[in-house]
Amino acid sequence: MAEGSAVALVLGMLEEREATARVRVEGLREEVARLAGALETAEIELDRRVIAREEPGPAPELVGGAEVMDRIFRRPLSARTHLHNANDFGRLLVVRGRFR
């Protein structure tokens, strides 16, 4: 009987460790999926920036030119959510100057 209870104890410990490992694996799978999505988003952003740098052109004319630029600059700074950093804002100032 003592041998049977020892085997049951070992099997119980193994099952507990297996359950813990399964939970960890599932958590890591979820994290990998989240990171894959973040990586895809970052790669798209990088591609857009590379294209914008390599193919400078009449982008302001395509989106409405001076009229759109004036509407952007009439809004308060907090409403300019598409201006992610000072460099973007500086580029817009340069472009805006071309339409004045």
Q: Which residue has the higher pLDDT, 86 or 6?
A: 6
Dihedral of CA atoms 76, 78, 81, 85 in degrees, nearest 10, equals 100
Which pLDDT tens digit goes with each residue over 14-50? 999 999 999 999 999 999 999 999 999 999 999 999 8
Q: CB of 61 within 8 A of CB of 53?
A: no
DSSP H or E segment with residue 49: helix 2-54
* pTM: predicted TM-score of the whole model, two decimal places: 0.45
